[in-house]
């Protein structure tokens, strides 16, 4: 890659820059057990995967900021309700959901160890940094709490723009917002479907973060196992 042509680096958010402490099942269970739930982290995690995949896109363009937040919360209420409808509902579910929703605004998340260093090095090179994510507006609180919000020049999130990955529109909007062409940027994410295929659909070069080596056999994917490898890629060594 010609390093002189790289002007912007876009990132997915969850499971690329930061992740859920102990996994979603453990976080859900750590709060739910206080409210009389009777399940296990493993059972919850499996039910969450099904509920999340079957949910409609998290897209609320055209709403006021206040109404968008209301709709985001309703969206998540249905996902979590579906989880516990499967694993076992309990009487104080609404109280539980209120606490859980706020837990995922901040303390449920933690950075990958290399995230801040990589963002600092990229920023020092004068690159535009952005986030493209199927997230709700709590992403700003999460990034603030984790101390990384100031690294980013733009946020393009599904809840605000009305399109979700892998739709090409969300990537095109990110390009427009940062005033760069597809050949002038790269996108880094952990999902083959949402990040790799989505960004490729508009001509953006993609680096797939594959920490567990799931895609080692794929010859059509430029994959890395740590964000630190991005630096060499941007500098023309990758």
* pLDDT single digits (tens) 84-102: 999 999 999 999 999 999 9
Question: Can you tell me the mean pLDDT for 59-80?
Answer: 97
The DSSP symbol for 156 reads E
Nearest-angstrom CA–CA distance, 127 and 130: 10
Assess whether pLDDT exceeds 60 at residue 57: yes
Q: What's residue 236's pLDDT?
A: 79
Residue in the structure block whose two tokens are 């009389």: 36
| Cα-based distances in Å from 75 to 13, 51, 69, 124, 151 | 19, 11, 10, 38, 29
Question: Can you tell me the mean pLDDT for 29-34?
Answer: 96
Q: What's residue 171's pLDDT?
A: 98
Q: 189 with 11: CB under 8 angstroms?
A: yes
pLDDT tens digits for 163-208? 999 999 999 999 999 999 999 999 999 999 999 999 999 999 999 9
What lies within 8 Å, CB to CB, of 21 at 6+ separation is 27, 107, 108, 109, 110
pLDDT tens digits for 123-155? 999 999 999 999 999 999 999 999 999 999 999
Q: 51 with 107: CB under 8 angstroms?
A: no
Indicate the pLDDT class of residue 237, thresholds 50, 70 and 90. Answer: low
Among 71, 146, 164, CA closest to 105: 146
pLDDT over 90, % of the chain: 95
Q: What's residue 33's pLDDT?
A: 95
Indicate the pLDDT class of residue 5, thresholds 50, 70 and 90. Answer: confident
Domains plus CATH for the chain?
Answer: 3-19+110-234 (3.40.50.1000), 22-103 (1.10.150.720)
Assess whether pLDDT exceeds 50 at residue 1: no
C-alpha radius of gyration, the chain, whole number: 18
Question: Can you tell me the mean pLDDT for 115-128?
Answer: 97
Q: 203 with 196: CB under 8 angstroms?
A: no
pTM: 0.95
Q: What's residue 3's pLDDT?
A: 44
Question: Can you tell me the mean pLDDT for 11-27?
Answer: 98
Q: What's residue 238's pLDDT?
A: 57
The whole-chain average pLDDT of the chain stands at 96
Q: 215 with 192: CB under 8 angstroms?
A: yes
């Amino acid at each position: 890659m010609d390093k002189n042509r790289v002007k912007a680096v876009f990132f997915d958010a969850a499971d690329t820059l930061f992740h859920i402490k102990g996994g979603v099942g453990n976080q859900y269970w750590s709060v739910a057990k206080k409210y009389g739930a009777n399940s296990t982290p493993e059972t919850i995690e499996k039910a969450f995967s099904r509920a999340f995949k079957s949910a409609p896109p998290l897209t609320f363009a055209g709403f006021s900021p206040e109404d968008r937040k209301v709709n985001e919360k309703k969206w998540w209420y249905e996902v979590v309700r579906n989880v516990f409808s499967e694993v076992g509902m309990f009487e104080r579910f609404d109280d539980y959901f209120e606490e859980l929703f706020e837990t995922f605004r901040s303390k449920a998340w933690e950075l990958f160890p290399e995230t801040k260093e990589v963002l600092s090095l990229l920023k020092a090179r004068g690159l535009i940094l952005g986030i493209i994510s199927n997230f709700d507006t709590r992403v700003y609180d999460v990034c603030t709490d984790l101390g990384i919000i100031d690294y980013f020049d733009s946020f393009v999130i599904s809840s605000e723009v009305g399109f979700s990955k892998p739709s090409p529109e969300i990537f095109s909007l990110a390009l427009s917002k940062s005033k760069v062409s597809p050949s002038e940027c790269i996108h880094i994410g952990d999902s083959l479907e949402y990040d790799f295929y989505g960004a490729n659909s508009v001509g953006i070069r993609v680096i797939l973060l594959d920490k567990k080596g799931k895609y080692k056999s794929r010859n059509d994917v430029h994959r890395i196992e740590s964000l630190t490898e991005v630096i060499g890629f941007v500098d023309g060594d990758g």
